[in-house]
Amino acid sequence: MYRLSAGRGAVKRIHTPRAGAFSPGFLCRCAFLEFKNPGLEDPACGAAYSNIRMEIRAATPGDVPSVIPMVRKICALHESWDPAKYTFRSDPGEMYRAWLGRRATDQRSVFLVAERSPGPPPVLAGFLVATVEAEIPIYRVDEFGFIHDLWVEEAYRHEGLGRQMVMLAIERFREIGVEQIRLDTAGANEVARALFASCGFRVSTMEMLVELKT
């Protein structure tokens, strides 16, 4: 069972994760998180929050169309931080579409979505996608988990969703059997580094970049 510290005014409860029944054979556990802060407005209906429940679960291929707008936002945010590094050839959402579909059915990928309920309609509040990557053969570690993207919609931030998805990803990678999990963060992204540090990550490599003007 995961426990989150009470955060930024909201009262929240995490329920015991249960074995996921969402994609056959996918053992990723699910978690439920309740938002009970009457002072916050529920973006889905415009009214004050009243006992919103978030379910973090394994994504299915049917979730991909709802994840793509969040992919576009995370790409735009990174491009705004560092256009030299994060400028995309074309619509990154479309470029992700087929890849995300494969992640949703790959037993060695971790693809989680946070879905608010009660619905309908179902509303996704965030996602995390990660894969197992091979290390080059000079190193003792053969492969490692790699978190590619993590996004929580602005209206649902600071309630513990990001951390809960990261902790579930760590648990899933432990089940898969990798020894390490890695990720990159943009130099400007101190919020994400604070989140990952609070989940046990430390800084490893620090990438440097110089632009050669022609």
Ligand X SMILES: CC(C)(COP(=O)(O)OP(=O)(O)OC[C@H]1O[C@@H](n2cnc3c(N)ncnc32)[C@H](O)[C@@H]1OP(=O)(O)O)[C@@H](O)C(=O)NCCC(=O)NCCS
Helix residue spans in 82-187 (DSSP H): 92-103, 161-176
Q: How far is the CB of 192 from ligand X (least distance, A)?
A: 4
Q: How many CB atoms lie within 10 A of CB 11?
A: 11
Q: How far is the CB of 9 from ligand X (least distance, A)?
A: 11
CA distance linking residue 165 with residue 113, whole number of Å:
8
Q: Which residue is nearest to ligand X (CB)?
A: 162
Cβ distance to ligand X smaller for residue 20 or 160? 160
Can you read off the two tokens belonging to residue 162? 């990001």
Cβ distance to ligand X smaller for residue 23 or 145? 145
Q: How far is the CB of 154 from ligand X (least distance, A)?
A: 8
CA distance linking residue 16 with residue 32, whole number of Å:
8
Cβ distance to ligand X smaller for residue 71 or 104? 71
Which phi and psi (to 5°) does residue 98 adopt?
-70, -40
Which of 15, 55, 56, 50 has its CA nearest to residue 36? 50
Q: How far is the CB of 203 from ligand X (least distance, A)?
A: 13
Cβ distance to ligand X smaller for residue 105 or 158? 158
Q: Point out which residues bind ligand X (CB under 6 A).
A: 5, 7, 74, 77, 150-152, 157-163, 183, 185, 189, 191-192, 194-195, 198
